[in-house]
Amino acid sequence: MNMSRSSRLSRFLVVAGLAAVLLSFGPLPARSQDTIHVTITEVPYREVFAFLFFHFDAAGKQEFAAPNGSFSQKDSYTGLGLGLFSAKYSGLQFSWKVNYERYRADQFGLSHEGEYLHALDLHLGGRYFPKFPTFGVGGAKSGLAFRLTFSATGGASLLIPQNTDLSSVWAISAELTAGLAITTGDSPSGIMVECVYRPLSNTLNFKTSEGSPFASLVMKPVLALRLTLVFGP
């Protein structure tokens, strides 16, 4: 009888000791793994009439080549623009914009060293910009909203040599863009980060101010990055 009581007492003391050790370390799962709380939000932007935007191009190199392929020139270019796109509930928006680009083409005699070939574009087209975000992180008022967006526009370009002895040239141009729009909460304003692709290859025939042929060159397609500031007034 005493042996049975002694055995039970021993087992009780062992179990109590193990429990005390475990409690002294606290709940193991809570200490070994942090909990991250993420709230997914699908809050639409506040009602606006239209969006105003300003964009800047970077990391693109425009190539000009001789029609026979004998030589070419490929340099970084500067690009910026402004425009408007609508704010329809369907997400399919009408868009128009004016672009300015500055290129290097001095190897073709279109400008002197250190001078540029300038371009002005007028484009019309469409953009997909949904009212509800594709996904979001954080609260409805302070979280980030991400929207997949893309566009296709086209129109006319006027290329103006800095060499004033040469005439300007008109060309057809087009742009395709795709990327992410990022806003805060239900604010309609934010930024877009996109890739922009100009798919057309144009042969440009420049003439002197008297009308005599001066130079022909092919303007190749180009791919660049674009940062756009979007305002929903």
pTM over 0.85: no
Residue numbers in the chain where pLDDT is lower than 50:
1-3, 18, 21-25, 28, 30-32, 37-40
The rounded distance, in Å, linking the Cα atoms of 193 and 229 is 9
Question: What does DSSP assign to residue 205?
Answer: E
pLDDT tens for 89-144 read: 899 999 999 999 999 988 888 777 777 999 999 999 999 999 999 998 887 677 89
Of 221, 106, 108, 228, give the one whose Cα is nearest residue 171.
221
